[in-house]
Amino acid sequence: MQSLKVTFLGTGTSSGVPMIGCNCSVCQSQDPRDKRLRSSVLVSSRETSLVVDTTPDFRYQMLRTDTRKLDAVLFTHPHKDHIAGLDDIRAYNFFSGKPMDLYAGALTEEALRRDFYYAFSDTRYPGVPELNLHTIDADPFMVGDIPVQPMEVWHMRMPVHGFRFGNFTYITDANRIEEDQRRLIRGSEVLVLNALRKEKHISHFSLDEAVRVVADLQVGQAYFTHISHQLGQHQEVELELPDNMHLAYDGLQLEISV
C-alpha cells in the first residue's frame, strides 16, 4: 500500500509565533514547539513532493527541511501569509530546468497574476519564476502519483480550498464547513484543521469549535494548525485536548496510508 509522508513546515497564524514585539509567555517560551512559522505542509510520496501554500517563510521552510525536489504547489486562498513566498520557486526552476506546476482556484489565480505580474508577463525579465498555473474547481485530480480531492470551506465570506490526499485532509483558514463538503472529509485517517485561539474569532475556528468539528466528522486523528500566541503554550494546551486530537508543531512528521 502506498503511503504519504506529511511534514508540517509551519503551524502559526499570519503573524507567526513569536509575534514581533510581544512579551507574552508564549512568545517568550523556550519550547521549540512554540516557535511557529506561517502555516504550510509538505506532502510526499516515493515519486512526488508538493507543498500547500508558499508562505512568507517558504525559503527558510525549504532549507530547514532540506527539500531538494518539489513538483507542485497547491494554494488554499490568496491571503499574503499563504502566497507571499512564491518568488522563491525560482531555485527549483533553476535546478529542475522546468516550470513549477501551481494549482489554485480562480480567486487565488487572480491574486497570483496581480502580485507576481512579472512572472506572467509576455516579456519576462530573465530569472523570474517559471510557472505553469492550473485552475482547479471541485473535481479531483492527480499530482504525480498523489490523489487530490479539493473541497471548499469558508473563511468568513471568502471561499478557501481544503485538500484531501488519500486518507489525509488539510484545512486552514476556515470558520464554516458545509455538510456537502464535510462528506468529502469523513473517512479520513488524519484531519488537519485550523484552531486560532480559545476566544471566538470572526473568520477562524476557535479551539472549542475545531474540537466539535473533529468530533462531528469522526476522523481517527486530528492535528490543529494556524495557531496564534493567544492560544497558549503548546505543552499546556495539549493536556486539555481529547486523546485523538493534538496541536501540530513545526517539523512534526506523519506517515499516512493513501
Answer yes or no: are the C-beta atoms of 83 and 75 closer than 8 Å.
yes
Query: Please, which residues have CB within 8 angstroms of residue 165's CB and are 6 or more apart in sequence?
Result: 4, 43, 146, 147, 148, 149, 258
Predicted local confidence at residue 196, as pLDDT: 98
Question: 3-257 domain in CATH 3.60.15.10?
Answer: yes
For the stretch 234-241, contacts whose Cβ atoms lie closer than 8 Å and that sit 24 or more positions apart, written own/partner, are 234/29, 234/31, 234/33, 234/34, 235/31, 235/33, 237/207, 241/211
Query: How many alpha carbons lie under 13 Å from residue 17 in its C-beta half-sphere?
Result: 32
Which residues sit opposite 254 in a β-bridge?
6
Taking the C-alpha atoms of residue 9 and residue 187, their distance in angstroms, rounded to an integer, is: 25
Sign (positive or negative) of CA dihedral 212, 217, 223, 229: negative
Average pLDDT of the segment spanning 139-162: 98
Domain boundaries, the chain: 3-257
Predicted local confidence at residue 105, as pLDDT: 98
Taking the C-alpha atoms of residue 70 and residue 49, their distance in angstroms, rounded to an integer, is: 5
Average pLDDT score over the chain: 97
58-104 per-position pLDDT tens digit? 999 999 999 999 999 999 999 999 999 999 999 999 999 999 999 99
Report residue 48's pLDDT band, with 50, 70 and 90 as the boundaries.
very high
244-253 per-position pLDDT tens digit? 999 999 999 9
CA separation (Å) from 251 to 32, 75, 130, 256?
Answer: 10, 20, 28, 16
pLDDT at 124 over 90: no
Sign (positive or negative) of CA dihedral 225, 229, 234, 237: negative
pLDDT at 1 over 80: no
Taking the C-alpha atoms of residue 37 and residue 84, their distance in angstroms, rounded to an integer, is: 13
The position carrying cell 520557486 is 89
Report residue 257's pLDDT band, with 50, 70 and 90 as the boundaries.
confident
Which residues sit opposite 73 in a β-bridge?
51, 102
Average pLDDT of the segment spanning 218-237: 97
Average pLDDT of the segment spanning 116-132: 92
CA separation (Å) from 140 to 15, 16, 77?
Answer: 32, 32, 18
pLDDT at 237 over 70: yes
Predicted local confidence at residue 97, as pLDDT: 96
- CA nearest to 27, candidates 236, 238, 232, 248: 232
Report residue 12's pLDDT band, with 50, 70 and 90 as the boundaries.
very high
Average pLDDT of the segment spanning 3-7: 97
Q: Where are the alpha helices (DSSP H) in 116-160?
A: 117-120
Q: Is 247 helix (H, G, I), strand (E, B) or coil?
A: strand
CA geometry: angle 178, 189, 165, nearest 5 deg: 70
